Amino acid sequence: LGADVFAEQCAECHSLKDGKNKKGPSLFGTAGRKSAFVSDFAYSEAMKASGIIWTPEQLDAYIALPKKAVPGGKMKYDGLPDAKSRADLIAYLATVK
């Protein structure tokens, strides 16, 4: 289920392969890490300064409303309103490491 959500909502801009960035950074190993951790990706100053640790709760808030979670961030995505889809996606991302 989470893989399907990723394919539909995220894969156009994000890869799950370590070191493979697209429009957005690779999401390999995201769960539990600090925001802006991919060294060769040009993050917004807002994301670099956010200090977010990607816990399930933080991922949920960000995926739901990225522009609210990190004002001034550059992700061009309005958010995923469906809580079950977000939960499935977050569970899936936790397995990608």
- Separation CA 36–CA 44 (nearest Å): 9
DSSP-based three-state secondary structure for 6: helix
Q: Percent of the chain having pLDDT more than 70?
A: 100
**Residue 80: per-residue pLDDT:** 98
pTM given for the model: 0.95
Q: Tell me the per-residue pLDDT of 37-82, one tens digit each, with 9 for 90 and over.
A: 999 999 999 999 999 999 999 999 999 999 999 999 999 999 999 9
Q: Tell me the per-residue pLDDT of 20-30, one tens digit each, with 9 for 90 and over.
A: 999 999 999 99
- Separation CA 74–CA 66 (nearest Å): 9
